[in-house]
């Protein structure tokens, strides 16, 4: 089974949200580490990449990344420049947005994202196994655009249905499927509440 992995949670462009599934997941995995949310105003991509690098450097042993929304794109930027990609056992990338298409009201404009260093969005294959969770009705990305991005990354995909952007505004809340996807992607035990969590326990 190998040594247990530590989950590293990478949020999107949001503040701390108590009811977000990533926040709830962190509470279920006391050994998990989280990259601090930076909100939608502090958009600097390099700062988010540096935060991922710092968080991963604080972890001993293999890592499974669990990213959401813009955090998926931050992971792709990080993967293109880090020397620690070999420590990543796998990455669950939930509903990455399409930054090349204008986002809905309330989200950053393309010009702001460009000024903050998000372009070009990395499309080279990721240097670790990855699984992109796709939504059939995500307001931040058309399904075919996400599928094309996943293909460029060399990621497997899993259709998680009509979940919107998989956030509280879309009715989530807890996302119980995340634990099973992490375990399946991990290929080994994940530390949860002081015991190893395998795919068979999800």
If you search the block for the tokens 């080279």, which residue do you land on? 124
Q: What is the pLDDT of residue 35?
A: 97
d(CA 178, CA 133): 9
Kindly state whether residue 1 falls inside one of the protein's structural domains.
no
Q: Give the CA distances from residue 79 to residues 99, 139, 201, in Å, rounded to whole numbers and listed in that order.
A: 18, 26, 30
**Mean pLDDT of successive 10-residue stretches along the chain, which has 202 residues:** 86 94 93 93 96 97 97 98 97 98 95 98 98 97 98 96 96 92 71 31 25
> What is the model's pLDDT at position 149?
98
Domain with 144, as residue range(s), is: 6-201
**Residues 132, 146: contact at Cβ < 8 Å?**
yes
User: For position 101, what pLDDT does the model report?
Assistant: 97
Q: Looking at the 3D structure of the chain, how many domains does it have?
A: 1
CA distances from 154 to 75, 95, 98, 179 (A): 14, 16, 17, 22
CA 32 to chain centre: 14
Q: Is residue 189 part of a domain?
A: yes
Domain for residue 141, yes or no? Answer: yes
Name the CA radius of gyration of the chain, rounded.
Answer: 15
Look up the CATH number of the domain holding residue 87.
Answer: 3.40.50.1820
Residue 187 is predicted with a pLDDT of 66
């Amino acid at each position: 089974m190998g040594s247990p992995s530590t989950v590293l949670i990478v949020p999107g462009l949001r503040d701390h949200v108590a009811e977000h599934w990533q926040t709830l997941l962190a509470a279920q995995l006391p050994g998990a580490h989280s990259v601090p949310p930076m909100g939608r105003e502090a958009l600097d991509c390099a700062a988010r990449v540096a935060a991922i690098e710092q968080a991963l450097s604080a972890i001993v042993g293999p890592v499974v990344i669990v990213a959401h929304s813009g955090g998926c794109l931050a992971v792709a930027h990080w993967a293109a420049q880090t020397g620690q990609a070999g420590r990543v056992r796998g990455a669950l990338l939930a509903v990455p947005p399409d930054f090349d298409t204008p986002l809905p009201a309330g989200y950053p404009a393309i010009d702001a994202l460009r000024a903050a260093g998000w372009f070009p969005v990395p499309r080279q294959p990721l240097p670790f196994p990855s699984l992109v969770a796709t939504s059939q009705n995500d307001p931040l990305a058309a399904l075919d655009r996400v599928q094309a991005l996943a293909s460029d990354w060399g990621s497997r995909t899993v259709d998680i249905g009509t979940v919107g952007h998989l956030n509280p505004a879309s009715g989530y809340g807890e996302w119980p499927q995340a634990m099973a996807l992490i375990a399946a992607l991990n290929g080994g035990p994940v530390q949860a509440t002081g015991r190893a969590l395998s795919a068979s326990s999800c």
